[in-house]
Amino acid sequence: MESDFLVIGSGIAGLSYALRVAEFGTVVVITKKEEVDTATNLAQGGIAAVLDKDDTVDDHVKDTLISGAGLCDENVVDIVVSEGGQRVRDLVDVGVRFVRKQNSPNEFDLGREGGHSKRRVAHAYDLTGREIERALVEKVQNTPNITVKENHVAVDLLMTNGMRSRCVGAYVLEREGVVVPYKAKMTALCTGGCGKVYLYTSNPDIATGDGVAMAMRAGANIQSMEFVQFHPTCLYHPKAKNFLISEAVRGEGGILIGVDGKPFMEKYDDRKDLATRDTVARAIDSEMKQTGCDNVFLDITHKSREFLSKRFPTIYGRCLEYGVDISRDPIPVVPAAHYLCGGVLVDTYGQSSIEGLLCLGETSCTGLHGGNRLASNSLLEAVVYAKRAADKCGEIKADLDAFKLPSVDSWRPGEAEPIEEKILINHNWDQIRRTMWNYVGIVRSEKRLELAQEKIVHIAEEIEAHYKAYFVTDNMVELRNIAFVAQMIIAAASKRKESRGLHYMRDYPERDQAQAVPRTMRRVKGGKKWDMEEVTV
């Protein structure tokens, strides 16, 4: 399979980029599951941008920088916020139906979320991600230059001469045991985040950090992996698998209360329930540890049933399925792994440190989020960078046209055989996720990180042995990738001897201004595949 552009992932970043580069080249999009099985599809809150006359770029920039805990790239923040309004309007042109004001249909009905000083979140009630994905998928399906391959899994990147050479595509698992080289002049990793590395997450099952893991193995620069955002409010119910209670509920007046029915956020932050996610998640974690309870509650019962069922139809309906009428009952909630602020380090056009390899969306680290992403800035970053990356590809089109794809080796299974005992995968998968949740979660310590490192290295070695001994399966690829991502998070967290943003260390509870810089790491040449070293960029 050959194309001008290979896009790995079918969320907002991948499809937005694919639609733009399809104007001047052939595009192949591969996606692990169905086209709409993405984190984008689960996004409830919306997309933040300056869309109201009472809002300003300076205000949005300021809010983003405050949330980022001193680690944002100010130039990137300016770029994304300044270009954001037009990118939202581009989505409208594609067919996204954001909610408008009843008395003024030309204006967006904007929501407000934690950390924002103004209402600036364009939404489709609490179905924003699904609405964006619907419109983009329909557009892609009607674009001749784009071929979508569902249920295809990227295994590793195709490199011309080993680590840190040029990327020319990826090895792709088409079905169990069958791995095919997909060659391309430009490859874009848009594989989303890595929430499944933790036991509790709001992410879809496909969020196994594939893009970051593949790029790391190829020698790309990786930045800020210690900053994993835990969403403060996921529904706590034995039958509710990773169901998010949107930050917009607090934006509309929801109040966090303990088991005693009393609000507690005023003890932790002057902004109370509208504090940033890192503060709220740690506050909830603290309350749960102090009381010994499994959850806290989010109370929005002071709003009418009519308002709640209209503003939050999905949340209202899903909670009702589990016996919780949010107009009468406080919602039981717990924090859960939600978003990776770090990732593959890219420039302002999405280009990684490896030639021919772009990274967009949650897979990338642009510098926008710093140490803590501001709510609803993720979809914004995805569309802004998709446009910038596509524009850059357009500028170098002549060079791409002249580039001849080299011959590549076929996949070599060696002495591999089919894996029959799936328990080998399931056991390691559970071990990694429990270890990361218990030792590398919302609150960390040097001792916990040391224990996690010791455990994960042992598991990773076992996984590599399985990987070589058996035919490749999608589960094996994902398991291997979460092992690599776990190693990256632990390595980065061990280096930061302070508490900042989403990274809280019991041994170092204060910020250290000397460490107010992002940390960049890279795979060690000649070491084990997961060995990382800090580098200066």
Q: Which residues are catalytic?
A: 277
Which of 141-144's residues contact partners 24+ apart within 8 Å by CB, and which partners? 143/18, 143/19, 143/22, 144/22
Query: CB burial class (10 A; 0-12, 13-18, 19+) of residue 354?
Result: buried
Cα 285-288-291 angle, rounded to 5 deg: 145
In whole angstroms, what is the distance from residue 471 CA to residue 414 CA?
Answer: 9
What is the SS3 assignment for 47? strand
Distance CA 197, CA 493 (A): 15
In 95-149, alpha helices (H): 128-141
Residue 474: how many other CB atoms lie within 10 Å = 18
The DSSP letter of residue 370 is T
**Beta strand 357-359 with 178-189: parallel, antiparallel or unpaired?**
parallel
Whether residue 299 contacts residue 324, with contact meaning beta carbons closer than 8 Å, is answered with: no
Yes or no: say if 488 and 449 are a contact pair by the CB < 8 Å rule. no
Q: What is the DSSP string of 481-524?
A: HHHHHHHHHHHHHHH--S-BTTB-BTTB-S--GGG-S--EEEEP
Decide: residue 280, CB within 10 A, 0-12 exposed, 13-18 middle, 19+ buried: buried
